[in-house]
Structure 1
Amino acid sequence: MLTESIIYLKDSEDAWKTSIIGGVLLLFAFLVIPLFLVWGYVVRVLDRTARGDDEAPTFDDWGELTVEGAKAFVILLAYSLVPIVVGAFAAGGVVLVASGDPGVFGVAVVIAVGLLALAAALLTAYVVPAALAQFAAERRIAAGFDFAALRPVLRSATYATNWLLALGIVIVGSFVSGILGSIPFVGAVLGAIVAFYALVAAYYVIGHAWLDLHPIAVEGSNGESTSDRPAA
């Protein structure tokens, strides 16, 4: 799966064009609309790979891409609120500790809240890819919060394994992107391209986890509905 995810975008038609566009959009993500376009592309990756289509999408139909990306961003933002709020409490506790003498109990509370914030961030990072895959399958924002459908996915070894692989890809991509970013002039663009490439590769892995857990129903020769592969 690692090899397939790495060559997914490279072996596609217009690979360089797609990578450069994605990198430039990511570089200007602070303008918000480019960020929507990036996440719209990710939604397309999830949609295709979850249906067994390993042909990487291209940047086209920009209006639809923006709308789908905006919806995906709403899901991301909603899930991010939990670690943000907990992290704010942790930061406030650190400020109080630094400004006075809270004692052992106060320090213990701050550490506990800090660990809680870390756990919330990890949990959010674990749930969000599945939520986006669920959204890509149904194209409804509410689908990203359908915990009845998400729960069995999140509990599965298939999703956990693929999520760890996807996380590793993003971490390595971020590391390489950071190194490239230190190169004068072109470094920022090269780093953004690598970051985009890693993001796409990671969601390719998530899409295939979704496909394994939600086999596509196909019509058999006898007219009965069968699955093209067993569920994981």
Structure 2
Amino acid sequence: MDVDIETLARYPMESDDWIVTVLIGGFALLFSFLIVPWFVVSGYLVRAIRSGMEHAEHPPVFDEWGDLLKEGVVAGIIGFIYQLIPLVVFGVFVGGSVLALLTGSDAGAGLGFLGFFGGLFLWWILALAFGYVGFAGVANYARKGTFGAGFDFGIITDVVTSREYLIAWAYVIGLNIVVGLIVTVLNIVPILGGIVGVFVGFYALIIAAWLWGDGFAAATDGRQVPESSPPEDPSASFGQFES
């Protein structure tokens, strides 16, 4: 998987409507606690992953809202199911730690703090591991367009054990580190920095989705057009990204 970093960084801007796209995505992230905006982001993520599979020249835009929300709901449910075990572990360890702290005893306080931070660490590890697999499930859904594709473990196992998908995730982790540094600098300005950081985060999400899609396609049977959304020009390729 040979990625041109400079070209990849500019990819979200390879659209006449890129500013509108980032603004809509950023506001959707800001209000994701209202649930529906979260499905909007999830639906866009599905499209962006599909664009990575197709090596599309331009990032997707927010349109055809009915289909976007439908795909967002399905992708959100798939992702939630993959996170069930980490969530249960979080509830058991952190909930038990809070109860231990409420006893008021020294022993309870010690066990509470140990369980709380130990539980958080274990939840974080499990969330990463199941997220690694879960995004492959969402990507397979983006390719096939059926809910069951999100749990086709024959394909998913091949993907998550592949070098190509692992490299794609390595790039995403590096991207997250860079974005984290940028957001840290932005947070020098209280409130405003945090808000701007959300839009920077969505910009980075477009890049990350392209990488996940590209890694998934390279790990399966090569660069193929998803069955759920054939492009107008199947021969189109994003020449500067080669896997």
TM-score, normalised via structure 2 length? 0.78
Cα contact 1:41–1:59 (8 A) shared by 2 = yes
- Aligned partner of 1:48 in structure 2 is 51
Across the aligned residues of Structure 1 and Structure 2, the Cα RMSD in angstroms comes to 3.0
Asked whether 1:23 is paired with 2:30, we answer no
Q: Which residue of 23, 31, 35 maps to 1:32? A: 35
Q: CA deviation at 1:184?
A: 5.2
User: Corresponding residue for 2:232?
Assistant: none
- Unaligned ranges ≥5, structure 2: 226-236, 238-242
Aligned residue in 2 for 1:9: 12
Which residue in 1 is equivalent to 2:240?
none
Alignment partner of 1:70 is 2:76: no
Q: Distance in 2 between matches of 1:133 and 1:38?
A: 15
Contact 1:19 1:197 in 2 (8 A): yes
Distance 1:139 1:80, change over 3 A: same
State whether structure 2 residue 122 is matched by structure 1 residue 119.
no
Unaligned runs of 5+ in 1: 219-227
CA distance in 2, matches of 1:58, 1:120: 33
CA drift of 1:205 comes to 0.8
CA displacement at 1:42 relative to structure 2: 1.0
1:118-169 deviations in Å (ceiling 9; x for gaps): 3311211211221111110011122111111100110111111111211232
Q: Equivalents in 2 of 1:200, 1:162: separation in Å?
A: 14
Q: Deviations over 1:2-42 (max 9, x none)?
A: 33332110222211111111111111111111111111111
Give the letter aligned to residue 60 of structure 1: D
Tell me, yes or no, if structure 1 residue 143 matches structure 2 residue 149. yes
Per the TM alignment, residue 212 of structure 1 is displaced from its structure 2 partner at its CA by 1.5
How many Å separate the matches in 2 of 1:78 and 1:3?
Answer: 35
- Tell me the equivalent position of 1:206: 212
Q: Which of 87, 97, 120 is the aligned partner of 1:84?
A: 87
Q: Which has the higher contact order (CA 8 A, sep 6+)?
A: 2
Query: Secondary structure of 1:153's match?
Result: helix
C-alpha separation between the residues in 1 aligned to 2:116 and 2:41? 37
In 1, Cα distance between equivalents of 2:79 and 2:175:
19
Percent identity at matched positions?
A: 32
Instruction: State the 1:183 CA deviation.
Output: 3.2
Name whichever of 183-192 and 144-153 sits farther off. 183-192
The one-letter code sitting in structure 2 at the alignment partner of 1:139 is G
Equivalent residue in structure 2 for 1:128, among 112, 129, 134:
134
Alignment length, in residue pairs?
Answer: 220
Asked if the contact 1:131–1:145 (Cα under 8 Å) also holds between the matched residues in 2, the reply is: yes
Residues 1:161 and 1:186: Cα distance change in structure 2 (over 3 Å): same
With normalisation by structure 1, the TM-score equals 0.81
Going from structure 1 to structure 2, the CA distance change for 1:58 and 1:106 (only over 3 Å counts) comes to closer
Q: Does 1:215 align with 2:222?
A: yes
What secondary structure does 1:13 align onto?
Answer: coil
2:160 matches 1:154: yes
The SS at the match of 1:50 is helix
Structure 2 match to 1:191: 197
Q: Which moved more, 1:69-78 or 1:6-15?
A: 6-15
122-131 or 173-182, which deviates more: 173-182
Note the C-alpha offset of 1:174: 4.2
